[in-house]
Every structure is written in structure tokens, then in C-alpha cells.
């Protein structure tokens, strides 16, 4: 420290052509450069991105589930049998968007949505004998728009998950290999940072991990 202080005080004499008036701007520029470097490579910054991402993913999962359930409830008045036939929410939204009125089902090809031919057969047979009520074109238009929202949210969630997986494999590859991207990100968020998590005893991490797994399964 004394050496650095001495060099700084005698810098104008050690470097030919450097005046005292040049020292201030040069020091300020160096400070800014160092600050930018620290921010660019700060682990805490990456931690923050992961924490924000996993928080947004959790919010999206809740919103996506709410919208998907609303599609099922709304369209269920028209074609109640479809709920038991197509159990996946995203597939359900795609089927409803393509089909519209259930009477169209027999003339449509659902193979790109439903990989199981038996499911497609069940769907078409159920559409013919459905006990659901008739709905207007305006109703179907609004239901289809809601399906668009579900599919858009699902696509955005997939993009966020890919980003999270990339960041987790970069900043915490060992943690990711042990517990996966989602649980690992939740642990980092709970600890506040990867550094804080690393300071936790093994027993605490086991408890936190078990809690997060339960939340993911039940959520």
C-alpha cells in the first residue's frame, strides 16, 4: 500500500510529459474502467440474473396454470368430454384453437398435436356424441384468443428456462449436475447468492433442497 501511494504521489515526476493537470482525468478514467470491469465479471451480477429469472419462472407457471384452467372451464361448457381425453394443458389449448366448434373435429387432423392415434379417435368420437352446450362464434373467438395467450406464455417460459439452464451451467455446473437447474436456482435465490449458499452447512442445504423439491412437485 505504501509503495502504491508513493508511486501515485510521484507519478508526474516518474513519467516524462505527464503534468499534474493530466493526473486527475487519467485517474478518473482508470477508476471508471476498473468499475466497468468489476461489474462485467461480478459473480453477484450473474446471481442476480438467476434469482430474477427463477422468480419470473415461478410467476409464469402460476399465471400459465390459471389461464390454462380458464380455457378448460370455458370450453368445457361446449365440449366437457375433451378435458379427460387431453390432459396436457398446452395440447388442450392447441386442440381447442384448431378445432373451434366441436363439430369440426371429425374433419381435422390432430396428429401434429396428439401423437397418440387412439387419443385422436377418442376425441373425434366424443365430439359427435358430446353433451356440451352450443356456443356462439363470438364465444369461440374469445376462447381461441385465450388459447393464444396460453401458448404465448408457454413459449416465453421455454425461452426463460433455456436462459436459466445456460446461466446455471455456466455459474454453478456442479450444483446443476447434483440437483438440476430449477432446484439449484431456487437454492441460490433462497440463499441470496451462490457465495452465501456455499457457506451453508450440508445439513441446511439438504433441508432447503427437500423443501424446494416438495414445492416444485406440489406446485
Residue 173 has pLDDT above 70, yes or no: yes
* Average of per-residue pLDDT across 4-33: 56
pTM over 0.85? The answer is no
The whole-angstrom separation of Cα 8 and Cα 165 is: 45
Question: What was the pLDDT predicted at 39?
Answer: 47
Summarised one tens digit per residue, pLDDT across range 106-129 is: 999 999 999 889 999 999 999 999
Per-residue cell: 187: 437454492
* Average of per-residue pLDDT across 190-203: 74
Summarised one tens digit per residue, pLDDT across range 87-104 is: 999 999 999 999 999 999
CA distances from 6 to 12, 18, 213, 216 (A): 11, 16, 56, 58
Question: What was the pLDDT predicted at 178?
Answer: 86
Q: Which own/partner contact pairs does 132-138 have at CB distance under 8 Å and 24+ positions apart?
A: 132/76, 132/77, 132/78, 132/79, 132/80, 132/81, 132/102, 133/77, 133/78, 134/78, 135/77, 135/78, 135/101
Residue 185 has pLDDT above 50, yes or no: yes
Domain 45-171 fold: Helix Hairpins (1.10.287)
Domain boundaries, the chain: 45-171, 173-219
Residue 48 has pLDDT above 80, yes or no: yes
Amino acid at each position: 500500500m505504501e509503495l502504491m501511494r508513493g508511486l501515485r504521489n510521484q507519478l508526474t515526476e516518474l513519467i516524462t510529459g505527464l503534468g499534474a493537470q493530466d493526473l486527475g482525468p487519467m485517474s478518473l478514467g482508470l477508476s471508471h474502467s476498473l468499475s466497468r470491469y468489476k461489474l462485467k465479471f461480478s459473480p453477484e451480477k450473474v446471481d442476480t440474473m438467476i434469482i430474477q429469472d427463477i422468480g419470473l419462472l415461478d410467476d409464469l407457471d402460476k399465471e400459465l396454470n390459471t389461464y390454462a384452467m380458464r380455457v378448460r372451464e370455458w370450453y368445457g361448457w361446449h365440449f366437457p368430454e375433451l378435458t379427460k381425453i387431453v390432459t396436457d394443458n398446452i395440447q388442450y389449448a392447441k386442440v381447442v384453437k384448431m378445432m373451434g366448434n366441436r363439430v369440426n373435429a371429425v374433419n381435422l387432423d390432430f396428429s401434429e398435436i396428439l401423437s397418440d392415434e387412439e387419443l385422436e379417435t377418442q376425441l373425434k368420437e366424443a365430439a359427435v356424441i358430446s353433451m356440451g352446450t352450443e356456443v356462439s362464434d363470438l364465444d369461440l373467438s374469445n376462447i381461441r384468443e385465450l388459447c393464444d395467450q396460453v401458448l404465448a406464455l408457454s413459449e416465453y417460459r421455454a425461452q426463460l428456462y433455456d436462459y436459466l439452464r445456460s446461466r446455471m451451467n455456466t455459474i454453478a455446473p456442479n450444483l446443476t449436475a447434483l440437483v438440476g437447474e430449477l432446484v439449484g436456482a431456487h437454492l441460490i435465490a433462497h440463499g441470496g447468492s451462490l457465495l452465501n449458499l456455499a457457506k451453508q452447512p450440508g445439513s441446511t442445504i439438504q433441508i432447503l433442497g427437500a423443501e424446494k423439491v416438495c414445492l416444485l412437485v406440489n406446485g
